[in-house]
Amino acid sequence: MHLVLSRVQEEDFDELVEVQFRAFVNADVHTALFGNNTPEMRALAKEKFIKDMKEDPADCWMKLVNTSTGKIVSAAQWKIYPTWAPLAHPSEAKADWFEGKEREAAEKIANKFMTIRAGHMYGHAHVLLYILFTDPAAQRCGAGSIHVKWGTELADRLLVPCWVEGSPEGHHLYEENGFKDLQYVNEKIGDWLMEYTVMKRESKTQYEAGRSIVFT
Largest pairwise CA distance in the chain: 59
Query: Does an H or E element contain 123, and which?
Result: none
Q: What is the pLDDT of residue 215?
A: 34
pLDDT for position 114: 92
Q: What is the DSSP secondary-structure string of 64-116?
A: EEETTTTEEEEEEEEEEESS--PPPPPPPP--TTS-HHHHHHHHHHHHHHHHH
pLDDT the model gives residue 209: 64
pTM > 0.75: yes or no: yes
| Tens of pLDDT, residues 150-192 | 999 999 999 999 999 999 999 999 999 999 999 999 999 999 9
pLDDT at 90: 62
Beta strands 162-166 and 126-134 are parallel
What's the pLDDT at 212? 44
- Cα–Cα distance measured from residue 197 to residue 39, given in angstroms and rounded to the nearest whole number: 30
Position 210 scores a pLDDT of: 58
pLDDT at 216: 29
Secondary structure element (H or E) that encloses residue 136, with its range = none
Please give the span between the terminal C-alpha atoms of the chain, in angstroms, as a whole number: 31
Q: Which pLDDT score is estimated for 1? A: 80
CB 75 within 8 A of CB 61: yes
Kindly list the structural domains of the chain, giving each domain's residue range(s) and its CATH number in brackets, ordered by start: 3-201 (3.40.630.30)
Other beta carbons less than 10 A from residue 61's beta carbon = 21
Distance, in Å, from the CA atom of 215 to the CA atom of 96, rounded to the nearest integer, reads 49
Taking only the tens of pLDDT, the chain with its 216 residues reads: 899 999 999 999 999 999 999 999 989 999 999 999 999 999 999 999 999 999 999 999 999 999 999 999 999 999 999 999 887 666 677 888 899 999 999 999 999 999 999 999 999 999 999 999 999 998 778 999 999 999 999 999 999 999 999 999 999 999 999 999 999 999 999 999 999 999 999 988 776 765 444 332
Say if CB 160 and CB 203 are below 8 A apart.
yes
Q: Give the pLDDT of residue 91.
A: 65
